[in-house]
A and B are shown apart, each in its own frame.
Chain A
Amino acid sequence: MSMPQIPEEKFRPSLEEVVIDLLASIALEETALSHLIHAEAEKIQMFVGQYKDSSFISSKEIVAVNQSVNRMMETIVMKEWLLLKKLEDVLQIEVQEEWDEE
């Protein structure tokens, strides 16, 4: 069994273009995450806002909403951590390139 071969492509991006695309992907992913957090926050506001008197909300309902938000927020935290590592690595490529040029 031989090693897989990546087919030749007409267009191969330069290192600079790769760095640009990677940085843009970090920005886009992070913007999407911020939208998710806003949506979760609005979910809480909608839930609390639909009752004028909080005594109409059952404890079970409050816990259910809270847990659902917690689960989503935990996932976002993990993703943000990965994005930070990605940013650090991409910037390292960029710094390395500057050193190589010197």
Chain B
Amino acid sequence: MLNSIQNSFKSCCRSHLSMEDAVFHMLGAAALLAKVSGERKFQSPESSSINTLEATSAFLLHVVTDLQGILYRKLHVLLRHQSEFGEDGLRWDADKEKMLQGNVRSLIPHIAPGNSRQEYLVYTMTQLMGYYEKKRKLLTAFAPGHAPSASPWMTESEEVWRSPIDNRKSRTEAPVVD
């Protein structure tokens, strides 16, 4: 790759990192909104607006998941052309996992058992976590030694989002997002 083209390409790598930062920020905000929605359900569980609240909160996560999917694909393109990008500070971010865990715990416990929206939410979460796992593996492949080899949260509480339909305990827990 010619040097000046490479410089422009590096700008694309930097803008990709800005995008990842922004998605991380949005996940935090979505968790905050999910927490408020969850509290509202505790305060007035019979309210007719709860369904709408749940649906819009889940949809926001769905959109973020779509974006993460595109970013994953773009990361693949970037790494294919400039493998050192993997060593350029882009790595699996454990904070994102924690944020996502907050989202799961805020939303899932408050959705009624057997509700189809819960299944939809779990599907979305699974998809999102899948992208993070794939991203971690991709970075490990391109920049070995720079990405953590295991995702701590996956093994610890994967049950919460993998099989929450039968996980009665999780539904009674209060939101944990600060």
Contacts and interface: CB of A to CB of B under 8 A. Distances in A.
Q: Give chain A's interface residue range (CB within 8 Å of chain B).
A: 35 or more
Given A23-B9, A37-B23, A62-B33, A87 B77 contact: yes
Given A54-B40, A62-B33, A62-B36, A80 B67 contact: yes
Interface stretch (B68-76, B120-128, B159-167): B68-76
Nearest to A69: B60
Nearest to B74: A84
A95 B37 CA distance: 50
A62 B39 CA distance: 12
A98 to B, nearest CB: 8
A24 B8 contact: yes
Contacts of A65: 33
A70 B70 contact: no
A41 B27 CA distance: 8
Nearest to B63: A73
A35 B66 CA distance: 18
A37 B29 CA distance: 10
A94 B56 contact: no
A33 B17 CA distance: 12
Contact of A80 (B4, B19, B28, B29): B19
B18 A44 contact: no
Interface string A41-59: 1101100100000110101
A41 B116 CA distance: 28
A38 B25 CA distance: 7
B33 to A, nearest CB: 5
A16 B2 CA distance: 8
B141 interface: no
Interface in A55-100: 55, 57, 59-60, 62-63, 65-67, 69-70, 73-74, 76-77, 80-81, 83-84, 87-88, 91, 94
A96 to B, nearest CB: 13
A58 to B, nearest CB: 9
| In the A-B complex, the 7 residue pairs with the closest CB atoms | A23-B8, A37-B22, A27-B11, A59-B49, A30-B15, A41-B29, A44-B29
17 contacts: A23-B9, A26-B15, A30-B15, A30-B16, A34-B22, A40-B26, A41-B22, A41-B29, A44-B32, A48-B33, A59-B47, A62-B56, A65-B33, A77-B63, A88-B77, A91-B81, A94-B1
Interface of A: 16, 19-21, 23-24, 26-28, 30-31, 33-35, 37-38, 40-42, 44-45, 48, 54-55, 57, 59-60, 62-63, 65-67, 69-70, 73-74, 76-77, 80-81, 83-84, 87-88, 91, 94
